[in-house]
Amino acid sequence: MSEETTGVSGGTGGVRTVADLDLKPALEAVLMVVDEPATEEHLSRILERPKRQIARALRELADDYTAQGRGFELRVIAGGWRFYTRPAYAAAVERFVLDGQQARLTQAALETLAVVAYRQPVSRSRVSAVRGVNCDGVMRTLLQRGLVEEAGTEPESGAILYRTTNYFLERMGLRGLDELPELAPFLPEAEAIEAETQEAVPSFDPDAPDADDGPTSGHD
């Protein structure tokens, strides 16, 4: 590979390779343009430095931003590093982002996402049983937005199972699912809900593409 493809212009000093760049500014430059959290392994490969050196520099940068009281912080989320707004300034960012706009997810979508997060992997029929309404349309929305994904099939019924994605962790600011708030004990067991409502819930295909997001107890 030529120097032109592996380095950057150094003015009168000629071409500087990536390995010649100052590490911390290089990390900042890369992290400013990432679309998702960057792993230490990836940064190590891109910047041609040992992973241990990358990890140390990232933690030092994070400490520096905190000590300086910057409006952003560098955090480990979903297995990688990315810049985030510091929580103390969330109100200002929220006002800027939502000014004149509506929240991107409806209440129904948020409820469905919560059930998937705490019951995953879970089928659409079980999510519908917990919520008490058919969630087909909402689930398609969550799939399209990359917040949930397919996770195989249920052995007993063959129904498609769903789970949350790394993008969900990123948007929620979580390192992993173990950081979800302790709300699971307050969610009723899907099996119990299904047993109690079995007579009221009509038979339907939860994976049908054109189902409406309406009540599951829709007998006339």
Better pLDDT: 99 or 177: 177
| Contact yes or no for 19/48 (Cβ under 8 A) | yes
* Predicted model pTM: 0.46
Predicted local confidence at residue 208, as pLDDT: 46
The average pLDDT across 165-187 equals 79
Name the segment(s) of the chain with CATH classification 1.10.10.10.
Answer: 20-91, 107-197
The continuous run of DSSP H or E covering 8 comes out as strand 7-9
Write out the E strands in 68-205: 72-77, 80-85, 122-123, 148-153, 160-164
User: With respect to CATH, is domain 20-91 assigned 1.10.10.10?
Assistant: yes
| Contact yes or no for 194/129 (Cβ under 8 A) | yes
Kindly state the DSSP code that residue 182 receives in the 8-state scheme.
S
Whole-number CA gyration radius for the chain: 23
Amino acid type, 27: L
Better pLDDT: 76 or 206: 76
Pick the CATH number of 107-197 from 2.40.320.10, 3.40.50.300, 1.10.10.10, 3.20.20.70: 1.10.10.10
Amino acid type, 60: E
